[in-house]
Chains A and B, each alone.
Chain A
């Protein structure tokens, strides 16, 4: 049985190769179906990885959630949080381990005649670097006391330090930001980019000072770290209650990595469902094409079938012969679809600078599905061939 299967495969291969154009055209339906699914799934996996990275660049790792002013992200928010809210929330919600406050802003920094536009001018709390990940390689980070007393101090990214001071010391120098002079007290370690943001080109100042800078005493965003990460939802709910009462508004929202990922997953699932539908139609049409071509192949080889039966082929052998051939067409189409799909996804992902992840589950599924298409649509032609009367088949001209 194994022997004959191998023999059938060799002969099926030969039959396909002797009709290359026809075989290729027959495969097209399966190729397109599998290609579209594989491309989408691969891009989807890449998108998930990309979104995860983006969220992490916002600082919402798995151990914290983000509380941000504004409900609807399409409307510029009017924040109602203030610096004192940090202490208030920590008091009211004891399950909170720590809170990082962040006011993202823009602007330019000037030293002498040189001006640079940092990737981020952030007003942050003193625990920012410790909790969001990072180190100071020169000098130090500012203290809570300096934040409370609104000291005009600044910690800068290594790229900015290098551009302003070359190899010289940055700490102790003063640079200008929006007309105010800030003393540099530290330089951050190089970390590269997370998503679109170059972390090495950021500058941070005490969050209390940034309020001057932005002309408001409000805070845009908190990163809240619960003591027990498994209670993230409960903590979030408590914070919501506490803050709603305090600011008399619910104009704020929460983001967790899981939350955003689940939104992304939902979108991807909807897209995948849609493309799978198209792929299913394509596979159906492709399968009918295979059936059609196999019926033609049976008709072309009626005499061959007669000869094979005369020399001892059982029905099973003839069925196997044509099934293997049909399956080979669809499986080959599937494999080509997988390769082209992965390559296509790779190109797109490379173009949008996302991360490339091969979804092996999709590859395996595509292989199984394409083989099944061949088996399903190959059955009828194969049985038609096997049922031929050998005497009639041998006489067939």
Chain B
């Protein structure tokens, strides 16, 4: 069983010092995500969803507790090693796409490969393949300003997949999309999941969450529910 655990969160707490007040973003979370899971994290704003996401994605460190990614204890890693983990093991998809506007679609997808030290020919090949998977073969040389929201988000998904990460983290990936494009992105996630890719998405949309396999609800920095999505609720 141990081999299949991608994310293991143990008693993770995260406080922020906001002036004089310490804000408890996470108040002791335990969580285990296994390979090929499709998890939705839900909860009202300010419940700590994004903080949890950042901690899982190694962008942030917990105030206390332990985070294991692929059984690597990230507490013990320095900033550069964390950067390497983000590069190789994590793929981020953001609500606002966060593509670099000056780079073409294919160059945006290549960016994580550049940081991984992959040479141009191999990089081009991989990026082309990924853009084909997300259905943007004919938009590879367009800049983000020439792409629709749905297309931009698919470029972002391709970028997230660039280094074959252990997990894809998507923070409100459909939040800035119309419902049709949102549907398409979710379908793309389902397809990727069916290929064995582990996904965690943060959303407040029950419809979207229902497309996953498991829903975790947070409230005030704590897990209040952790349910399998049944066929009926789908």
Contacts and interface: CB of A to CB of B under 8 A. Distances in A.
Interface string A309-350: 111111111000000000000000000000000000000000
Nearest to B163: A312
Given A14-B102, A15-B102, A310 B115 contact: no
B82 to A, nearest CB: 9
A4 B79 contact: no
Given A308-B111, A312-B88, A391 B54 contact: yes
A11 B92 CA distance: 22
Interface in B80-102: 80, 83-84, 86-88, 92, 94, 98, 100, 102
A391 B61 CA distance: 10
A303 B98 contact: yes
Please indicate which of the listed interface residues B57, B88, B114, B163 has the most CB atoms of chain A within 10 Å of its own CB: B114
A202 B59 CA distance: 87
Of the four ranges (under 10, 10 to 19, 20 to 34, 35 or more), the interface on chain B belongs to: 20 to 34
B100 A310 contact: no
A215 to B, nearest CB: 84
B118 to A, nearest CB: 8
Nearest to A18: B102
Interface string B165-194: 000000000000000000000000000000
Contacts of A304: 100
Contact of B92 (A1, A14, A310, A315): A310
A394 interface: yes
Interface string A1-34: 1011001000100110010000000000000000
A173 B111 CA distance: 90
Contacts of B79: 314-315
A376 to B, nearest CB: 25
Nearest to A6: B120
A1 B116 CA distance: 10
A390 interface: yes
Contacts of B102: 11, 14-15, 18
A190 interface: no
A369 interface: no
Q: Is the interface of A mostly helix, strand, loop or mixed?
A: helix
Nearest to B114: A7
Given A309-B86, A312-B86, A314-B83, A3 B116 contact: no
Given A14-B102, A15-B102, A394-B94, A310 B57 contact: yes
Contacts of A285: none
Nearest to B162: A311
Nearest to B99: A307
B166 to A, nearest CB: 13
A312 B83 contact: yes
Contacts of B86: 309-312
Please indicate which of the listed interface residues A14, A307, A316 has the most CB atoms of chain B within 10 Å of its own CB: A307
A310 B57 CA distance: 8
B150 interface: no
Contacts of A312: 83-84, 86-88, 112, 115-116, 163
A314 B59 CA distance: 12
A139 B129 CA distance: 91
Contacts of B80: 314-316
Interface in B98-155: 98, 100, 102-103, 111-112, 114-117, 119-120
Nearest to A8: B114
25 contacts: A1-B117, A3-B117, A4-B117, A7-B114, A14-B102, A18-B102, A303-B98, A308-B111, A308-B115, A309-B86, A310-B57, A311-B112, A311-B115, A311-B159, A312-B84, A312-B86, A312-B87, A312-B163, A313-B83, A314-B80, A314-B83, A314-B115, A391-B59, A394-B59, A394-B98
Interface pairs A-B: 4 shortest CB-CB: A312-B87, A314-B83, A312-B115, A311-B112
